[in-house]
Structures are given as structure tokens and as C-alpha cells.
Amino acid sequence: MTRITPADGFAIVTGAGSGLGRALARQLCDTGFTVIGTGRRAAALEETGATCAGRFTALPMDVSDFSAVRQGFAEVTARHGALALLINNAAVYPKRDVFDETPELFWQSLAINLGGVYACSWAALQDMAPRGTGRILNVASYADIAPLPASAAYSVSKGAQRVLTRALIADLFDRFPGIVLTDWLPGALATGMGIPDGLSPETAAQWGVKLALMRDEALNGAVFERDMELLPPRGLKTKLKDTLMMRRPRPRRL
């Protein structure tokens, strides 16, 4: 299994000011990476940096400000060299009922949760594509499968984000198989966006970082939930063939 190392370049983690993003950034720093962390709150990013042994650089930025994303990514790649890894983690979960979720507020959430993922991926690809190598990990969710009350914007945007991952792969894989994109579902976490009795972001980040540093081309389009791969649905014909040939698909584990 090919793995990314600090010799390959630096990492960007969006939404690094708290919760899972902070835990991901800190663990990448502990692994030896230079990490650029984005977020809308400069003070929160500085708190993240205080735990990262001097390897963390704050990049205050709203990922829904596409001009700022384009400029920010260009500046950090000019300063730090090759961008080896992008973790698209930034998201909002406003928890508004449909009568409170105006069309304008709905669109603001989509601009962050979906538009921000595309903008950051597009900006990262400007550096990765000429080199033909790179890693993008999208922090995903099952929110679109069974939406909770007061979650319309979050559910729609996170479901569309998983479609976006597949669409990017459709555009990139034939020409740039060395740029690997994967969706990762960390599950319910004990964060501001999660639930009080959820998994600690530090525990989840161990799996996320391990997956993010795996650069095998076979991971292109794979989906992992916590520490295990989710195998794609199989049709009846495939199931019958596997049974006859005594094959049992086995998901990969982190």
C-alpha cells in the first residue's frame, strides 16, 4: 500500500478550528506534516496551532468565498511547495426547521458544505494535476439517507457532496489515476455538530488520518465508515456468481 509522507508535501485541513478538523490537523502534525488549517474564526485556528508543535499554519478563510479559496490555496502552495493532501472537513449544521430555513439561509449552507468542497478540491487540483499525484479525502455523512428534523440544508448538501466525489472521479480517473479521492463517514461525534455521547473526535481522527495517508489507486471512489470500508451494492447476478465461485467480498479495515 502506497502511503503519503511529509516528503511528498504539505496538507490542508478545512474546518480546522474545532472538533474533528482540529483533531485531524493535530494528528497530521504529530505525524510530521506541515498542516495548513482553514476556518472562519482566526482565534479558534490559533488554539489549534497551539497544540501542533509549530507545524500548523492558520489560514482564516470561509470556504464559501470562492475567490478567497482560490487565492489562499495559490499562496500556500507558492510558499510550501507540493500539496500532498486535502481533507475537506468544513461544514455547518444549522439545525433549522423549514419555516426558519429561508431560501437564502438554505443556500448559504449549501455554499459551505457543497460549494466549499468543490472550490477547495478545484484549487487543490491546480497543483496536483500537473504533478499527476495527490490525495483528497472528503468527510461525508449518511444524513441524506434518513434526514432528521430541522436538517434540510445539511442533509441535501452532504448527500450531494458524495455525488460530487463520484463526479470528480469520473472526470479525473482516466487521466490522473494517481490523484485518489475517497469519502469517509466518521459517524456521530461528540462535537458541537454531533451528539453528547458520540465518539470522541480524537478517536475518529486516528482512522481519518490513516485513511487520508493511504494513496493506493484502488481506493479511488471507495467509501469508509469509521474504520471499515462500505462495499458497493451487488446485483443478483454478481451475488450468484460469487456464491458459485465461493467468493466472499471482504471490506478493507483501517
Cell numbers standing for residue 241: 456468481
Nearest to 127 by CA among 64, 68, 63, 78: 78
Cα–Cα distance for residue pair 139/189, rounded to 1 Å? 13
- Nearest-10 crossing angle of helices 19-30, 42-49: 30
Cα–Cα distance for residue pair 236/11, rounded to 1 Å? 42
- DSSP, collapsed to helix, strand or coil, labels residue 171 as helix
Catalytic residue among 93, 118, 142, 154: 154
Nearest to 88 by CA among 16, 35, 138, 154: 138
Cα–Cα distance for residue pair 123/66, rounded to 1 Å? 9
Q: What is the signed CA dihedral for 82, 88, 89, 91, rounded to 10 degrees? A: 140
Question: Hunting for cell 506541515 — which residue is that?
Answer: 34
The neighbour count for residue 47, using CB atoms within 10 Å, is 14
Query: Residue 57 pairs with which residues in a beta bridge?
Result: 36
Contacts of 122 (CB under 8 A, 6+ apart): none
Question: Hunting for cell 449552507 — which residue is that?
Answer: 109
Cα–Cα distance for residue pair 73/130, rounded to 1 Å? 15
Is 154 a known active-site residue?
A: yes
Which residues have a catalytic role annotated? Answer: 154
